């Protein structure tokens, strides 16, 4: 399989560190609010990557964290720990429910940041010891980006001018360059949201959360790290700096990033009134499988234009495919036709070829749809037998192990 690696900026051949097992880390949501449709484009595609690896015969060890502490969460809870827990627990539930509804396979481990403060403190202490981090007069601990020579390599940004400043914000998604927070010292507005640790009273920064949890569950070096394109800078750039400064080894061998989603050609935003969650769309009368299908409708390195016309077409196509599949399962047919079997084998090979070429799921799904139409032709001409039907079902099931559209949604 070839994948486009953001760090090396080219398609490279995939090879796992361990034989037949892939260690896989994906950045999870910040649960200060409910993840929106755009977030789910990324999560659905991450699911496609994981399913593709399984299709190709790998086992996958998948960790997806839950960010349940960062500036936005503290603001939403107005400095009240009880409220914070209530908000983050509720939104985590919604996130997991939406993931299941969209046919996303659950990760093996779904660690919460607030349960791994100890591991984060340990990392920060090591960075302080190595003189790659420093404490300011208020007790905040910053990572000194000038201490890490590879800083900016992932995003391809030159920082010479901007460097030297400090970024005090710790919002989920922040794009400013400069020394970034590892530990945020407690201040009045934080109320009773803090941890008392060797670093003082406060809480970890967002970036260190992922470095600590990925290292804890997957080791110092793992195979694939994924996230939305918004994560490239600064989150993933910062993760690399933190982790590699401590371990001295490359954090992840492949960095895969998913581009944005547009709604009817426009950026999704609350001010434009086109901001949707998965449940909003479902309430408008669309099935979750059709939503999943639509979210897979474009190559992950291109923006996906989500339109209601497209969603409607996907819903119709899926209805057709499901009906064909159940007819194949139940049907009684005619004389066996070796050409029909050959057609299935060829379709499966073509399907695989698309996935192996930088995970081209939209074209792979195209192969699946035209295969079912071809089968329908054989049936109409009565050139199809019961054993052909059994084989065709196997082909569909194998393809659907990646698509997750026919049986699981
Ligand atoms: Zn992360």
Ligand 1 centroid to 19 CA: how many Å? Answer: 26
What's the CA-to-centroid distance between 207 and ligand 1, angstroms?
6
In a domain, 268, yes or no: no
Through-space distance between the first and last CA atoms of the chain, rounded to whole angstroms: 27
- Which pLDDT does position 407 carry in this prediction? 79
Query: Tokens 């710790």 map to which residue?
Result: 170
**What is the DSSP annotation of 14-54?**
---SBTTEEEEEE---BTTS---HHHHHHHHHHHHHHHHHH
Contact 226, 232 (CB under 8 A): no
The residue range of the domain holding 190 is 15-258
The CA 210 to ligand 1 mean position distance, Å, reads: 5
101: domain CATH number is 3.40.50.620
Q: Spell out the per-residue pLDDT of the chain, length 409, in tens.
A: 999 999 999 999 999 999 999 999 999 999 999 999 999 999 999 999 999 999 999 999 999 999 999 888 888 999 999 999 999 999 999 999 999 999 999 999 999 999 999 999 999 999 999 999 999 999 999 999 989 999 989 998 766 545 567 887 777 666 677 899 999 999 999 999 999 999 999 999 999 999 999 999 999 999 999 999 999 998 999 999 999 999 999 999 999 999 999 999 999 988 888 999 999 999 999 999 999 999 999 999 999 999 999 999 999 999 999 999 999 999 899 999 999 999 999 999 999 999 999 999 999 999 999 999 999 999 999 999 999 999 999 999 999 999 999 975 4
22 and 163 belong to one structural domain: yes
pTM listed for this prediction: 0.96
Q: What total number of domains does the chain contain?
A: 2
Residues 169 and 54 in one domain: yes
Measured in angstroms, how far is the CA atom of residue 355 from the centroid of ligand 1?
25
- Ligand 1 centre from 75 Cα, in Å? 20
273 alpha carbon – ligand 1 mean position (Å): 28
**Rounded to the nearest whole angstrom, what is the distance from the C-alpha of residue 236 to the centroid of ligand 1?**
7
350 occurs within a structural domain: yes
Same-domain check for residues 214 and 143 = yes
Burial class from Cβ neighbours inside 10 Å (0-12, 13-18, 19+) for residue 109 reads middle
- Quote the pLDDT of residue 164: 61
Domain for residue 264, yes or no? no
């Amino acid at each position: 399989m070839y994948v486009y690696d953001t760090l090396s900026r080219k398609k490279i051949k995939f090879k796992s560190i361990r034989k037949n097992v892939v260690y896989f880390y994906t950045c999870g949501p910040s649960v200060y609010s409910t993840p929106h449709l755009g977030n789910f484009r990324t999560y659905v595609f991450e699911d496609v990557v994981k399913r593709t690896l399984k299709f190709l015969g790998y086992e996958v060890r998948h960790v997806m964290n839950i960010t349940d502490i960062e500036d936005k969460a503290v603001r939403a809870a107005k400095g009240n720990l009880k409220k914070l827990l209530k908000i983050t627990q509720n939104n985590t539930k919604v996130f997991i429910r939406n993931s299941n509804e969209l046919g996303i396979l659950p990760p093996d481990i779904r660690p919460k940041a607030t349960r791994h403060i100890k591991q984060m403190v340990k990392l920060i202490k090591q960075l302080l010891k190595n003189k790659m981090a420093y404490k300011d007069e208020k007790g905040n601990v910053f990572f000194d980006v000038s201490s890490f020579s590879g800083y900016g390599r992932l995003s391809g940004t030159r920082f010479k001018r901007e460097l030297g400043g400090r970024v005090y914000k710790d919002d989920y998604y922040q794009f400013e360059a400069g020394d970034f927070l590892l530990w945020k010292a407690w201040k009045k507005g934080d109320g009773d949201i803090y941890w008392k640790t060797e670093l003082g009273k406060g809480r970890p920064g967002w970036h260190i959360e992922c470095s600590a949890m990925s290292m804890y569950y997957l080791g110092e070096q793992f195979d694939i790290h994924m996230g939305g394109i918004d994560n490239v800078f600064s989150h993933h750039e910062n993760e690399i700096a933190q982790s590699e400064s401590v371990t001295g080894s490359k954090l992840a061998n492949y960095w895969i990033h998913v581009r944005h989603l547009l709604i009817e050609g426009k950026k999704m935003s609350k001010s434009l009134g086109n901001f949707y969650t998965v449940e909003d769309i479902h309430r408008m009368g669309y099935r979750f499988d059709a939503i999943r299908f639509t979210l897979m409708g474009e190559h992950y390195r291109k923006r996906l234009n989500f339109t209601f016309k497209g969603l409607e077409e996907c819903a119709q196509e899926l209805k057709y495919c499901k009906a064909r599949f159940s007819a194949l399962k139940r049907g009684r047919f005619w004389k066996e036709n070796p050409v029909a079997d050959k057609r299935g084998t060829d379709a499966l090979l073509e399907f695989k070829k698309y996935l192996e070429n930088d995970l081209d799921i939209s074209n792979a799904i195209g192969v699946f749809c035209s295969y079912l139409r071809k089968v329908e032709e054989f049936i109409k001409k009565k050139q199809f037998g019961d054993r052909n039907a059994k084989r065709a079902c196997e082909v569909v099931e194998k393809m659907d192990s990646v698509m997750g559209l026919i049986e699981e949604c």
